[in-house]
Homo-oligomer: A and B are copies of this chain.
């Protein structure tokens, strides 16, 4: 049988898409920067079908690109040309919440928004959130170890994974879904798959650890004269506000773009930097915010303690990426810099960017509490021209940072990883051991070892 016939035998005719119109939404990422034609898009219904699809593709020596909600930002979930896209969106079940353990078993294709609904119905919260919640799926979230604004309090996706099930490159299904908080019976292979971006296995189910639902919230937008003041406010919040849930940074240009895009006026004074923060607790966390403000010497702030005004402040923060996209296709660099280096990095960044692309426009925002900055550079040429990317990532490494904080490596940064990871050959060896034929997401994250 041909590859396509075998795939149809596994998932049914209706779930092997070869018509270009049907394939299209799976072939290109939403930023429009990455993608190519797929050989086909295959949509399995369950773990066994995923395993069978992997076996079929491996037998035909055809590469697979696993895809969840296609909300990735580094080109790791769309074809490079000629692969089979394995879409996991049909694995979208969400089991009932276990109230004693606060666990919920979700299919890889369930969206973050679906999980939010289930968690809320059980009086709990997901503990992870970001703008693409309506599309982003749990499998992708775990495969990419997603972060977001609330990682400051709850950690990245890794901290929320109480177990998972996955399919390896040879079709083997591995499963760790007992929900036991302590299980030291040999190495936990789940940990290897978290953050592997679909290159070492395909996550099919996730046992998610929910967190308490805090009913009382307060948010604030604070204008600040310099990055040192922003760091000072973060330190005051960390010390005096145990209810701290998010502490975000916006530069003047980032907030201005967002305001402009949403046709709103600045609720606070114009300033070079802004911190946006949210506190959440069982009781009103406003006194904690006031205490932190006092210690940090904050006098001007927009404070939102009702749901509507809080959501409007969140919209300003979450709307930055869309505002940027509305004016151009940026070079997007999601980096992490140790807090102690943040001031120096932000001072040097504009100089480095200007030297690389004299007309470039720099828009920076991100998650201050994690040292996670989203460096967006507009008007720096087509994304295939990596001059400005090289300059920014070089600066990041000079300051002891990471070339990817939360978006992952994908195809966008695969050429950079060797410089960032001295033990690159070990990572290549790991890939070669788990996926010797290179079936899973080849070209993403790791470049093939040249010596094998």
Contacts and interface: CB of A to CB of B under 8 A. Distances in A.
A182 B409 contact: no
Interface in A132-182: 144-145, 147, 151-152, 155-156, 158-159, 168, 172, 174-175, 178-182
A375 interface: no
Contact of A182 (B185, B191, B367): B367
Interface stretch (A112-120, A296-304, A419-427): A419-427
Given A100-B235, A238-B100, A180 B423 contact: no
A429 B421 contact: no
Contact of A180 (B179, B238, B371): B371
A441 B238 CA distance: 42
A370 B405 CA distance: 32
Interface string A358-381: 000000000101111000000000
A370 B433 CA distance: 34
Interface stretch (A322-330, A349-357, A396-404): A396-404
Interface in A399-452: 400-409, 413, 417, 420-423, 426-427, 429-430, 433, 445-446
A192 interface: yes
Given A183-B405, A186-B421, A426 B172 contact: yes
Interface residues of A, number: 73
A187 interface: yes
A417 B185 contact: yes
Interface string A279-321: 0001000000000000000000000000000000000000000
Contacts of A101: 339
A56 B152 CA distance: 43
A242 interface: yes
Interface stretch (A22-30, A61-69, A194-202, A262-270): A194-202
B184 A405 contact: yes
Contacts of A422: 174-175
A438 B184 CA distance: 21
A96 interface: no
- Top 6 closest A-B pairs, CB basis? A191-B191, A182-B405, A433-B433, A183-B402, A180-B336, A181-B370
